[in-house]
Structure 1
Amino acid sequence: MIYLHIPFCKQKCSYCNFHFSTSLNFKEEMVAALKKEVFLRKDEPQDKNLKSLYFGGGTPSILKVDELKSIIDEVLKYFSFNEDIEITLEANPDDLDQPFLKELAQTEINRLSIGTQSFFNEDLMLMNRAHNAGEAESSIKRAQDFGFENISIDLIYGSPTSNFEIWKENLNKTIALQVPHVSSYALTVEPKTALNQWIKQHKIPAPKEAEQNREFYYMSEFLKDHGFDHYEISNFGKPGFHSKHNSAYWKSHEYLGIGPSAHSYNGSNERSWNIANNKLYIDSLVQNKVPKETEILSEADQFNEMIMIGLRTVWGVDLKVLNERFSEQVLAHLHKEIQFKLEEGILIIENSHLKIPEKHWFMADGIASDLFMVN
């Protein structure tokens, strides 16, 4: 599978620390550089039949449809598309007007991941989103009108501007709009963000973990009651609408990351990442050089990553795969570390898979980190 990072946004969201630029001065050069990187790295993936192509960002919907199409055409020069390939475009609601959607519906893109975040203006203003509550709703309806059925929306819970009743209304609206997939995250305070600065200056209160915990578990039960599978801590999908792209990440499949700051993984012991600087990225590709760094993962690194990612999912970590892949030392470490948690019911083993019961999912990252090996 291939991930394409489009590093442009109209404005900076208050909570975001991803790599992007609000200047579009080098947009054409960036598109050319992305296509050049696809060409230069076409031989890296072992599987040339793609099951997923994902435009992430940033805000990929800031590109024109013909620019998106030109990137897809470049990928098709070197890769084939599986007959049921999932091609996702992350999009902001304010970009999804009728002309854009009409053109987009003529491309191979068949899934939209819409950055809704909330259906309430007060939340959106705090987050410094470019859209308003009306656009949050109308963009979904328009996308459906143009034939996009495979739609995911992002929702953020635990905002200081929100409360439990508002959160329930966000979920009710999601169901009313017949959206088949939801990715939902607690509002987190990242360093070097406007949100972090506002909290330090006591302009707004910090998110409260107890409230986020309550909203998380309500969401889980509510969405399951309406036909969704809670298949990863932050992801809910109706049958047939689970994200193929993210599921492949969580199952440690190989992927190729194209674009500034994008990461790649060979499915085994090698990870690489591109430079997080638009101008330097473009300049390097002009010279036919991929500006990336590569890391060879130690056995401990590989183990820790499989534990961290796998325990966030409903299917857990396959113990048979661990037994085949890792040394006796690693397996002995795991056996020792899980005993108490198994006795306490914090971990369970089902069908040779190590899992965290869903009632403990809000603590999953902490539980997983307790099992880590230290180099």
Structure 2
Amino acid sequence: MSGIYIHIPFCKQACHYCDFHFSTSLKKRDEMVVALAKEIQLRKDEFENITIETIYFGGGTPSLLTIKELKFLIDTVYGSYEVVSTPEITLEANPDDLIKAEQSVQTESKTIFEDYRSIGINRLSIGIQSFFEEDLKLMNRAHNAEEAKVCLDVATQYFDNISVDLIYGIPGLSNNRWKQNIEIALSYNIPHISSYALTVEPKTALASFIKKGIIDNVDDDKAHEQFHLLVDTLDQNGFIHYELSNFGKEDYFSKNNSAYWQGKSYIGIGPSAHSFNGKERGWNVRNNSKYIKAIQSETLPIETETLTTTDQYNEYVMTGLRTIWGVSLHKVKKDFGTVFKDYLIEQSEVFINQHLLYIDDEHLRVTKKGQFLCDGIASDLFKINL
């Protein structure tokens, strides 16, 4: 089973913290949608023996696309690949887009949410980030706090499989206000929450504002506190912490993202999108015009690299440690050899002694104490290509 990720590289405005590929100009939108469909078709020979289990519209802001455009892309997937009978089809969406679309199409008998469902979308991932105005303004989000709440009021009437994004570690965000953010999300009976620490990426507006002293720098200790507040609160409310930044009720884990972490192959469609076939990784050009021009000439604008055994081991350790499934010592030995298994156990010893890692049922996992440090621990378990 595999998934298709479709990158929609447009946003109405730039969030101060975002370094994803997007454009705030929609001039090439029509050409882009046609190019995305063309790439879906062009890639079918490369992935001809796979069955599609998930379709994920990410971005950028996929909720800027019309129902007709989304249906066109979904139909193209169905026309090019074998698809399971009930695939998980996720649409990333911003609250303001959903509200405006709802107001523009709503009749006595139909809403935008019913339109989404009619074309097969069965999961919404809504970029709330915060329910408080001061946080949204600092991040330069396009929606306001009231729109976030109104959006969830309506969306939950039509979708049960909804995920919301929340960000912690925001400068000026108190633990009390962060706890209120979590509790507001829980009040809507949302079955999945993705939550990330605010990260200062180079060349973003946020990095510039911090450098100039306009905004305080991110406080790592405060972010650490808020991470554990999140983990404890969601655990008490029946959520399973199945990946470092993801929490879901039973049967509501993201199938699309879980496939990434479990090393399944996936196809990335669109500018900047990444693909993986088990042995090779590829990434498309991060430029809308160059992407469209290449696809129009039936050329895939993609660079690839073949992963060495060491690369594959390192990726498995990185992704495995982030999940509840952990790193299987049996799999390491089977796929990479005894030398890699012995190396992993030896490198893990110091973290086991510090109660950051533990081994249970032949699986290496992080402890609760080690969760926030997970990526750093994983890098110390990597093997270096020599």
**Common fold, TM-score beyond 0.5?**
yes
Residue of structure 2 aligned with 1:64, choices 66, 69, 81: 66
Tell me whether 1:136 sits opposite 2:138 in the alignment. no
Tell me whether 1:172 sits opposite 2:183 in the alignment. yes
Deviation at 1:312, TM superposition (A): 0.6
Structure 1, unpaired ranges of 5+: none
Deviation at 1:107, TM superposition (A): 1.3
CA contact (8 A) 2:326 2:366 kept: yes
CA contact (8 A) 2:156 2:188 kept: no
Aligned pairs (5 A) from 1:1-375:
1-45=3-47, 47-97=49-99, 98=102, 99=105, 100-145=112-157, 147-267=158-278, 269-375=279-385
- Cα distance in 1 between the residues matched to 2:30 and 2:146: 31
- Cα distance in 1 between the residues matched to 2:232 and 2:333: 34
Letter in 1 for 2:15: C
Deviation at 1:328, TM superposition (A): 3.6
Letter in 2 for 1:72: I
Structure 2, unpaired ranges of 5+: 106-111
Letter in 2 for 1:324: K
Deviation at 1:330, TM superposition (A): 2.5
- Cα distance in 2 between the residues matched to 1:173 and 1:3: 30
Deviation at 1:178, TM superposition (A): 0.9
Instruction: Kindly provide the CA deviation profile for residues 31-60 of structure 1, in whole angstroms up to 9, marking residues without a partner as x.
Output: 000011011101223653221110000000
Q: 3-state DSSP class of the match of 2:282?
A: strand
- Cα distance in 2 between the residues matched to 1:243 and 1:139: 21
Q: State the identity %.
A: 50
Deviation at 1:358, TM superposition (A): 2.0
- Cα distance in 1 between the residues matched to 2:34 and 2:56: 18
Q: 3-state DSSP class of the match of 1:358?
A: coil
TM-score of the aligned structures, taking structure 1 as reference length: 0.97
Deviation at 1:82, TM superposition (A): 1.7
- Cα distance in 2 between the residues matched to 1:6 and 1:118: 23
Residues 169-178 or 318-327, more deviating = 318-327
- Cα distance in 1 between the residues matched to 2:257 and 2:265: 12
CA contact (8 A) 2:329 2:341 kept: no
Change (3 A) 1:53 1:47: farther
Letter in 2 for 1:114: I
Q: 3-state DSSP class of the match of 1:114?
A: strand
CA contact (8 A) 1:45 1:254 kept: no
Q: 3-state DSSP class of the match of 1:188?
A: coil
- Cα distance in 2 between the residues matched to 1:161 and 1:66: 42
- Cα distance in 2 between the residues matched to 1:69 and 1:336: 51
Deviation at 1:343, TM superposition (A): 3.0
Hey, which bits of structure 1, 4+ residues long, moved more than 6 A?
A: none
Deviation at 1:160, TM superposition (A): 1.0
Instruction: Kindly provide the CA deviation profile for residues 77-112 of structure 1, in whole angstroms up to 9, marking residues without a partner as x.
Output: 022332332100000000112233342232100000
CA contact (8 A) 1:45 1:255 kept: no
- Matched residue count: 373
Q: 3-state DSSP class of the match of 1:370?
A: helix
Residues 247-256 or 97-106, more deviating = 97-106
Q: Could you say what the CA RMSD is over the residues aligned between the two structures, in angstroms?
A: 1.2
